Amino acid sequence: MKVLISVDMEGVSGIVHPSETGPERYDYERGRELMTAEANSAIAGVLDAAPDATVWVADAHGPFRNLLPEQLDRRARLVRGKPRPLGMLGGLDRETDAVLLVGYHARAGSGPAVLAHTMNDGLLDVRVDGRSMGEIGLNAAMAGHLGVPTVLLSGDDAACAELHDLVPSAVTVEVKQALAQGAAVALHPEEARGLLRHSAAQAVLRRSEIRPLTLTGPVEVEADLAAPFMVDLATLIPGVTRTHGGRTVSFTASDFAEAYRLLLLLAQLATIRPA
């Protein structure tokens, strides 16, 4: 069995502020240690349930170079760095049996939710067939496109509710309760790790009961961008058009994999600043 654990940072217990998640910020190294420890708990849980499993861990935050390789459980394989195929799901393929989302956050515009956003601050909202989706929904749907169920998510209460809305039978681990964009009531990190390890084992054992999130094509996508010049750049991509004024673009993809790749490109364009 192959299991992919995608690890973000904003949903890790104890983390509430960009100073803990951004490279070159004063508390980033502490955030990296907390993130790595939760990744290790998920790895341990998977291997408690399936000792012979192959576990891949995708570093899925910011530059994709946050997990501390020397501190990561040596039984796992680390997918690190960017750009790479499938972004936050680096390592996913049709041979994967289950996806776990660890340290995830809610979508842009939701709240109260700790450090909520979608991909980056340049994307204000993404709607797939009219439904607003953040990284949780987009990644679960990409896994589902390959027939892979998303069996677990850990994060704050808003992130857990977001996955439950899309995959009701998935296991969720609420490691903190959001009070605001930058405030939460959090479990002690060791308490969160114990809960995550137990839940990861249960999620893997229940994987056959959890249906993949499947969106059939063609897929209609709209994205609200933070600045008009981002729209100007986006419309240089064949098939992407300006809609609803100066901030929104739309496109039709033949299937969800094509939509996902285009959204990765839009997110990258949204990081460009005017010359």
DSSP for the chain reads -EEEEEE-STTSTT--SGGGTSTTSTTHHHHHHHHHHHHHHHHHHHHHH-TT-EEEEEE-STTT--S-GGGS-TTEEEE--SS-TTGGGTT--TT--EEEEEEE-PPTT-SS-TT--BSBTTEEEEEETTEE--HHHHHHHHHHHTT--EEEEEEEHHHHHHHHHH-TTSEEEEEEEEEETTEEEE--HHHHHHHHHHHHHHHHHTGGGS-----PSSEEEEEEESSHHHHHHHTTSTT-EEETTTTEEEEEESSHHHHHHHHHHHHHHTT----
Among candidate residues 117, 164, 198, 244, the one labeled active-site is 117
Q: Is 164 a catalytic residue?
A: no
As annotated, the active-site residues are: 117
